Amino acid sequence: MEPIILPVPKKLFTTMLIGCAIVILAPLRLLFSPLPGATTVAIVGIVFIAAGAIFFVIKLNSSAPMLVIDSTGVTDNASAVSAGFLHWHEISRVEIKHFLGNDFLCFHLVEPEAMLARMNPLKRVLMRINARCFGAAHVNLPMRSLEIAPGVLMANLQGWIDANRG
């Protein structure tokens, strides 16, 4: 089977970066509001939007693909809390879940703690939160950032799983 390599969706991420530049105006305006707590809300909003903008800038300047699927396993670079490389024997099952209006490619792991042990402490906490949101799937990739139809991706993934699990 041919490897599947999904590149960074430059057009989508450029649009999202422009969106960040526009949306950040709202919390910036709140900085000057006399309302109690407005400054706190503004700072949280600015930090959150800036983090998103930084993510999009990093991805737009990266040559690493969002997702690679080959005979050795899956390499995830699709989100801010990407798992990196997962060998086929680490993956117990794959599914697509709908959450908050978006589809996510969810990898359930045989031993999630082994994968989490490879992560830095912040990423570990974020991945545990992700797992609670997605019902135990520790690796959740937003389908919106993968330029492939969900059904096509699942069919290809199943082919790779069947070929490499024995």
Report the pLDDT value the prediction gives residue 40, as an integer from 0 to 100: 93
Supply 9's token pair.
Answer: 């969706």
- Distance between CA 132 and CA 150 in Å, rounded? 22
Same domain for 72 and 42: no
Report the pLDDT value the prediction gives residue 136, as an integer from 0 to 100: 63
Burial class of 122 by CB neighbour count within 10 A (0 to 12, 13 to 18, 19+): exposed
Same domain for 95 and 54: no
Same domain for 161 and 114: yes
Q: b/e per residue, 69-79, with b = 16+ CB within 10 A?
A: beeebbbbbbb
Same domain for 121 and 106: yes
- Say which residue the tokens 């024995």 belong to: 166
Same domain for 85 and 42: no
For every one of its 166 residues, what pLDDT tens digit does the chain have, with 9 covering 90 and above? Answer: 888 999 999 999 999 999 999 999 999 999 888 889 899 999 999 999 999 999 999 999 999 999 999 999 999 998 888 889 999 989 988 999 888 888 889 898 889 889 899 999 998 898 888 788 777 678 888 898 888 988 889 988 888 888 886 5
| Total of domains in the chain | 2
Beta carbons of 66 and 5 less than 8 angstroms apart: no
Sheet with 139-142: list strands edge to edge: 91-99, 102-109, 139-142
- Distance between CA 66 and CA 60 in Å, rounded? 11
Domain enclosing residue 79, as ranges: 67-165
Same domain for 110 and 51: no
Same domain for 33 and 113: no
Same domain for 82 and 160: yes
> Which of 35, 60, 85 delimits the end of a domain?
60
Q: Position 153: which residue type?
A: L
Paired with 60 in beta bridges are none
Beta carbons of 50 and 24 less than 8 angstroms apart: yes
C-alpha pair distances (Å), 11 with each of 23, 31, 60? 18, 31, 9
Report the pLDDT value the prediction gives residue 158, as an integer from 0 to 100: 86
Q: b/e per residue, 32-56, with b = 16+ CB within 10 A?
A: eeeeeeeeeebeebbeebeebbebb
pTM for the model stands at 0.81
Same domain for 82 and 38: no
